[in-house]
Amino acid sequence: MFNLSRTALLAAAALLLVACNPNNGPAELTEKRIAAVAERIAPHGQVAMEGDAMTAPPAAAGGVARSGEEIYNSNCVACHSSGAMGAPKFGDAAAWAARVDAKGLETIYANAINGIGMMPAKGTCMSCSDDDIKATTDYMVENSQ
Ligand code: HEC
């Protein structure tokens, strides 16, 4: 993990510093020096991984349930609001009905998850689960009738 390796590296560097310095001061001074260095090079932001204990939950990180509407607005709207590259347009009942009638919803879900033609896998929402993509597809289909 990022923080772990950074800490390990820092500890190794500190050890090296102590070992190589012939004019070692009292242990307390060395500790202070190490603490100062640690503070100086500490990352400004911390990366929280799923499962880490956190004081406040992030707004909408991966793993946190998001609605189809939210995912649509952040990941799909760019292509599906304009119909870019032949994407079925949000709200275009005929375009969506044609697809649903021809293939069935299950196939459409699978195509949204795996990608089809110019449609990238998961619409590039790599933090989305398969269920997230299904919910987002439902959101688009239900609002295009
Ligand atoms: C880079 C543009 C782009 C983005 C971003 C994008 N799509 Fe698409 N999408 C397309 C295009 C183009 C098609 C039509 C592909 C085809 O039929 O060849 C399509 C088709 C689809 C279909 C119909 C699949 C089928 O089998 O008919 C679904 C469902 C879909 N997109 C869902 C999504 C979802 C959900 C997102 C966001 C998470 C998303 N798309 C983001 C371009 C995009």
The residue that leads in pLDDT, 65 or 104, is 104
Is the same domain home to 72 and 136? yes
pLDDT in tens, 123-134: 999 999 999 999
Confidence category of residue 38, pLDDT binned at 50, 70, 90: low
Whether 46 is covered by a domain: the verdict is no
Whether 49 is covered by a domain: the verdict is no
**Ligand 1 mutation pick, 69, 80, 105, max ligand atoms within 8 A of CB:** 80
Q: How many domains does the chain have?
A: 2
Is the same domain home to 79 and 116? yes
Is the same domain home to 123 and 72? yes
Is the same domain home to 72 and 31? no
Mean pLDDT of 16-42: 60
Confidence category of residue 17, pLDDT binned at 50, 70, 90: very low
Q: Extract the tokens encoding 35.
A: 């603490």
C-alpha 110: how far from chain center? 21
Q: How far is CA 106 from CA 2, 88, 103, 142, in A?
A: 39, 17, 8, 15
Mean pLDDT of 56-85: 81
Degrees to nearest 5, angle at CA 130 with 124 and 131: 125
Whether 126 is covered by a domain: the verdict is yes
Domain region containing 82: 68-142
Q: Which residues contact 18 (CB under 8 A, 6 or more apart)?
A: 24, 30
Is the same domain home to 91 and 131? yes
**How far, in Å, is the centroid of ligand 1 from the Cα of 76?**
7
**Ligand 1 mutation pick, 119, 127, 136, max ligand atoms within 8 A of CB:** 119
Q: Which atom in ligand 1 lies closest to the alpha carbon of residue 125?
A: 38
Read off the CATH number of the domain in which 76 is found: 1.10.760.10
The residue that leads in pLDDT, 68 or 64, is 68
Is the same domain home to 29 and 75? no
Whether 108 is covered by a domain: the verdict is yes
Whether 8 is covered by a domain: the verdict is yes
Is the same domain home to 20 and 80? no
Q: Extract the tokens encoding 54.
A: 């956190």
The residue that leads in pLDDT, 117 or 21, is 117
Give the pLDDT score at 12: 53
DSSP letter string, 61-125: -TTS---HHHHIIIIIHHHHTTTGGGPPPTT-HHHHHHHHHHH-HHHHHHHHHH-BTTB-GGGG-
pTM for the model stands at: 0.67
Q: Extract the tokens encoding 109.
A: 């879900």
Give the pLDDT score at 35: 65
Judge whether residue 60 has pLDDT over 50: no
Instruction: Determine what percent of the chain is predicted with pLDDT higher than 70.
Output: 56
Is the same domain home to 76 and 135? yes
Whether 62 is covered by a domain: the verdict is no
Is the same domain home to 82 and 125? yes
Is the same domain home to 73 and 128? yes
